[in-house]
Amino acid sequence: MIKKNLGLVIILSLTAGTAMAAPYAVSGDSIFRHISVLAHDSLEGREVGEIGEWKASQYISNVFKNAGLEPKGDNGTYLQSFEFTKKIVYGADNRLSANGTPLVLDEDFKPMHQSASTFFNFSEVVFVDFGITVDSSEGDYDDYRGKDVTGKAVLIKRYQPDSTVNPHIDFTKYGSFTDKINNAIDKGAAGIFFYTPPDQDDTIPSFGPTRVTPKEVPVVLLRRIGLERLGIDLNNPIIASLEGAI
């Protein structure tokens, strides 16, 4: 289950209003004053969707108004509302079994922000290594080559290949979760499951509130500890089935 909140973004026009008595002067003192206000502890970090963000938006709106800038936001203001995902709330029915063995939420697996809320039962799970397809103009590399993943779940290794193996390809351009998810969907995958190689960090960095749009397929991180408990070889993982609800 994904909880959505409304955020605010400052919108302005660079056209000065007719009521402006004198040009707005930018100085070292004015910049320091604005930073001091916006960085003050009372704004509590200005987290999106929280009172500190609202205070900051009101302060910036007043500065724009005093500068004579024409508002171009919602209802004649300097603000424009938008939806964003503040946090993921796991429902009581979140569950996952791999090879018929139940896994523990958070400890063994973690639904990702991009995941659909859905039921699934995959009897075919295709390991596609790093799940990367390089643009033909940059090199000849495709982890999906010769593999039919249409309607199936794919198991994808996080991060990217060792650059020494293909030194002429910049794999960092293809190694993000977003890139790999979009590539898997383009290839026809009906479920996307990530896992972390033995030599890499198995955590997912927290980026705070985000505007990630959920996909129409389940997207899940299989934690390394859970796979090891199942006796799965992380260098050549074989998973026969994945069943559950996200």
Q: How do residues 203-218 score in pLDDT, each as one tens digit?
A: 877 655 555 677 899 9
In the numeric block, which tokens belong to residue 231?
């006796």
pLDDT tens-place string over residues 116-127: 999 999 999 999
pTM of the predicted protein model: 0.69
Q: What is the pLDDT of residue 18?
A: 44
- CA–CA dist 76, 170 (Å, integer): 46
Tokens describing residue 48: 């999106």
State the Cα–Cα distance between residues 67 and 76, nearest whole angstrom: 16
Asked if 243 contacts 120 with a C-beta cutoff of 8 angstroms, the reply is yes
What are the b/e assignments for 187-221, b being 16+ CB within 10 Å?
Answer: bebbbbbbbbeeeeeeeeeeeebeebebbebbbbb
- State pLDDT tens for residues 40-92: 888 888 877 788 888 888 999 988 988 888 998 889 999 888 776 666 677 77
Which tokens belong to 92? 């009581």
Do residues 225 and 108 lie in contact, with contact meaning Cβ atoms separated by under 8 Å?
A: yes
